[in-house]
Structure 1
Amino acid sequence: MGPSLFAEAGFDERQEKEALVALSMAPGVGPGRIRSLVARFGSAAAALQAPARVLATVPGIGPQTAAAVAAFDGHAAVTEQFERAERVDATLVTAWDPAFPPLLREIYDPPAFLWVRGTLAEADAKAIAIVGTRRATAYGKQVAYDFAAGLARHGFTVVSGLAYGIDAAAHRGALEAGGRTLAVLGSGVDRIYPARHARLAQAIIEQGALLSEYALGAAPDAPNFPRRNRLISGLTRGTLVVEAFETGGALITARLALEQNREVFAVPSPVHSRAGVGSNRLIQQGYARLVLSVEDMLAELGLILDEPPDEPAPVPPPALDPLERRLYDALDDTTPVHIDTLCTRTGLDPSTALVYLLNLEFKGLVRQMAGKQFFRA
């Protein structure tokens, strides 16, 4: 990718990035006002040097905001941001940089910059968001995982929010299929939330990126997440809602996707599932297209499918002792099986079965879902 527009215009790249961060710290200045200031003065650095009376003439910048920009005295805080970024190997990608996600430029209120840990790629222009409840069922997690893996095999980047439940399952599905995935945070990229997803976040950095418009060190405060959700939908061609209660962040993301003129899809849930009421309503009310497979989604988008790579020949599991083999043969490749059902199939008592299932997990042959349900890895 080539240099940013600022570099082409002869501005110092580091100085310009520092100025953009400084503007974002000035009271009353958000992404829209930053864009207005840059459009008027040609750069953020020039806007910071302008007197208040001139700043006040910029559309959308009133006297109070102009005074706040002209009086900005937080350069130590700006320096601290870049020091924090260096410690976690984060970079600042501005809206004027060729690396900035092109689909995100098209939304009504794009960020002026993103903090990035990992890498952005041209392939990320072909992205789908997968969202849903944190309190997902085993069914919802499996569906999210399968759709993400399928999308990854077709060359799509999977975007989600690193939360428990559907988000985590979607990220893992993309990663384990060898694809790219982006996680958009409602905190600074150096504040992994939830903290238990630190290892997952590291894997995402290695096969994609963590993104945030919030300052490094920013806490995962509740008001951040609805605003964060516009980036999840804005980065993608469409949003898939897997499971959603009657209210929640996934429905906010779906609404934002519709406002951004992006497609919304939903997977149906069982009619008695409280976790799927919101996603079922999206389908019922015509806000989301019902999909049962990745191919359904891509057909709705009118996209030409990349042929997924040939499935590798099945690799026989390593030598197993008789009880491990009995359990392994009683499991399914895709549908989780409850421990009680496994005991019925194998004639083992639950405590013995769990010991040998744990052995199979250590060998990477079995995965455990919530509620003591298992399937072959």
Structure 2
Amino acid sequence: MTKRELTYLIALQKLPNIGDTTIKKLIDRIGSAEAVYTEKKTNLLKIDGIGLHKIKEIGNSAFLDVAQKEIAFFEKEDIKAFDYKHPTYPSLLKHCIDGPSVLFTRGNIDLKNKKIISIVGTRKITTQGIAFCEELIKELAVLNPIIVSGFAYGTDICAHKAAIKNNLQTIACLAHGLNQIYPKPHAKYVSDVEKNGGFVTDFLTTSDFDRNNFLKRNRIIAGMSEASIVIESAPKGGSLVTADIANSYNREVFAVPGRPTDSMSRGCINLIKKNQARPITEAADLIYYLGWDLEEKSEKNLQTQLFIDLNAEEQSVVDCLKKENKQHIDELAVNSSIPSYKLASLLLDLEMKGILRPLPGKLFELI
């Protein structure tokens, strides 16, 4: 996208009474942001769903002046901008009707990896929630997913930090322009996030800082992700909005079940009760339902793990499956002489190493 086209696209964004859905509709019909901004209003009004109240400010040069100042700031701060037609625009987000017409990013984001998940939850995350979040990301690290969240207190920052700790790319979606950081205490994490991913927003530096922005940015968190995971939530909360948006996009939603008496588990339990989320208790749940293939790891790494990292009990399980593939967990417990409570953990470890995979009905087979 040229600097000139970006100028007109930002100008369209600044217009009152016009949103991303309308902007994309106009551009798709007319051909470009510049063409839309310079088109006669009589021609624009011929497009279905376009009324005068939406386009009355199109052509106003004052908004172009604002856009030029915005671009000058981007150039100074090394901020990248790309529209919804650009190859680097998140592929899944392209299919969302209300997805941003333009995104602004800073850092080292690389979306070539298609395994993208969002992790959200309460800002008042418990110690149990933190432990689960950290362990989940640690278990998923073998598949090198991109971890998306909102950079807020609690669950969000826990997910970002765990991703960085496991050398995974993480993307923070902001509810404001890239000229500031909120919450301010999280400024100390900015450098690490940019080195291991970066920041994304569709808000301009001149956008008002409003609490509704946080709900709006949730569509990016849900839209660019293959699945959204709610770690903990009260009966009402922003993470439940993200889950609702993800469901509207026909994406997978997972929620961590907890004790009914725990206030920060009630939101997750309600999602599961209403069939709005699948329960998730370990990484294997996510891997199974998303159909992620552990065979995608390099042959070299797989061979290393097959022949070096197996302890005696893991080797016993592998030997059992070599004799008779696709065994039920109870059969494996008997054949390997390993108690079921201990076997479950061993099976997960072997799955993370890419040696076996779970099948429906608590069956397991070698890869």
CA distance, structure 2, for counterparts of residue 280 and residue 268 of structure 1:
6
Other-structure match for 1:212: 201
Equivalences for 1:101-250 in 2 at 5 Å?
101-250=90-239
Pairwise CA distance, 1:41:
1.7
Mapped to 2, the partners of 1:293 and 1:258 lie a distance apart of: 21
Distance change in 2, residues 1:83/1:192 (3 Å):
same
Q: Quote how far apart the aligned CAs of 1:119 are.
A: 3.1
Q: Distance in 2 between matches of 1:245 and 1:208?
A: 29
Q: Which residue of 1 aligns with 2:81?
A: 92
Q: Retained in 1: the 8 A contact 2:116–2:224?
A: yes
Aligned residue pairs: how many?
A: 302
Alignment of 1:315-326 (within 5 A): none
The 8 Å contact of residues 191 and 217 in structure 1, kept in 2 or not, is answered as: no
Deviation (angstroms), 1:146: 2.0
Indicate the residue corresponding to 1:326 in structure 2. none
Offset of 1:29 from its aligned partner?
1.7
Distance 2:101 2:20 in 1: 5
TM-score scaled by length of structure 1:
0.76
Distance 1:147 1:284, change over 3 A: same
Using the alignment, how far apart are the partners of 1:103 and 1:119 within structure 2? 19
The CA RMSD over aligned residues, in Å, is 2.0
Per mean C-alpha deviation after superposition, the further-off stretch among 303-312 and 58-67 is 303-312
Deviations 1:295-348 (A, max 9, x none): 2111011221244967999xxxxxxxxxxxxxxxxxxxxxxxxxxxxxxxxxxx
Range 223-232 or range 264-273, more displaced: 264-273
Cα contact 2:146–2:171 (8 A) shared by 1: yes
The match for 1:25 is 14
Tell me which amino acid in the other structure corresponds to 2:218: N
**Matching of residue 294 in structure 1 with residue 283 in structure 2:** yes
Q: Structure 1 residue 153: deviation in Å?
A: 3.1
The worse-fitting range, judged by mean Cα deviation, of 142-151 and 294-303 is: 142-151
Aligned residue identity for 1:105: K
Please tell me whether residue 285 in structure 1 is matched to residue 285 in structure 2. no
Change (3 A) 1:37 1:301: same
The 8 Å contact of residues 18 and 55 in structure 2, kept in 1 or not, is answered as no
Structure 2: distance between partners of 1:62 and 1:258: 30
SS at match of 1:141: helix
Supply the distance in 2 between the matched residues of 1:128 and 1:97 (Cα, whole angstroms): 21
Q: CA deviation at 1:240?
A: 0.6
Separation (CA, whole Å) in 2 of partners of 1:224 and 1:198? 19
Which of 56, 62, 71 matches 1:73? 62
SS in 1 for 2:71: helix
Regions of 4+ moved over 4 Å: 306-313
Query: How far has the Cα of 1:219 moved from its partner?
Result: 4.7
Corresponding residue for 1:45? Answer: 34
Render the CA deviation track for 1:201-230: whole Å, top value 9, x for unaligned.
Answer: 221111112000111243541111111111
CA 1:138–1:202: 2 relative to 1, 3 Å: same
Structure 1 contact 129–233 (Cα < 8 Å) conserved: yes
Task: Tell me the alpha carbon deviations over residues 17-38 of structure 1, each in whole angstroms, 9 at most, x when there is no partner.
Answer: 1110011111112111111221
Deviations 1:257-293 (A, max 9, x none): 1110000111122332111110122122322111111
- Which is further off, 203-212 or 127-136? 203-212
User: What is the aligned counterpart of 1:63 among 49, 52, 60?
Assistant: 52
Q: In structure 1, what is the Cα distance between the partners aligned to 2:85 and 2:103? A: 11
Partners in 2 of 1:105 and 1:18 — Cα distance?
21
Greater shift after overlay, 240-249 or 31-40? 31-40
Q: Which amino acid aligns with 1:210?
A: F
8 Å CA contact 1:52–1:70 kept in 2: the answer is no
Take 1:18 and 1:170, find their aligned partners in 2: how far apart are those partners?
35
Task: Output the amino acid matched with 1:175.
Answer: I
